[in-house]
Amino acid sequence: MPRRYPPALVVLHWLAAFLVLGSLLGGTFNMAEVPYTDPGKVATLRMHMIVGGLILLVMLMRLVVRARKAVPAAVPGPGWQVAAARAVHLGLYAVTIGMAVSGVALALASGLPGMVFGGAPLPESFDLFAPRAVHGALASVLFVLVIVHVLAAFWHAGVKGDGILSRMWFGR
Ligand code: HEM
Ligand code: HEM
Per-residue confidence (pLDDT) for residue 165, from 0 to 100: 96
172 inside domain? no
Q: In CATH, what number is assigned to the domain containing residue 79?
A: 1.20.950
77 inside domain? yes
Tell me: the pLDDT tens digits for 102-114?
999 999 999 999 9
CA 110 to ligand 2 center in whole angstroms: 13
Domain, as residue range, for 129: 7-167
> Into how many domains does the chain fold?
1
| DSSP-derived secondary structure for 34-97 | S-TT-TTHHHHHHHHHHHHHHHHHHHHHHHHHHHHS--PPPPP--HHHHHHHHHHHHHHHHHHH
Give average pLDDT by consecutive 10-residue segment, the chain, 172 residues. 95 98 95 88 95 98 97 95 98 98 98 95 95 98 98 96 94 86
Per-residue confidence (pLDDT) for residue 1, from 0 to 100: 85
Tell me: the pLDDT tens digits for 92-135?
999 999 999 999 999 999 999 999 999 999 999 999 999 999 99
CA 90 to ligand 1 center in whole angstroms: 11
Which of 146, 168, 169, 170 has the most ligand 1 atoms within 8 A of CB, as the residue to mutate?
168
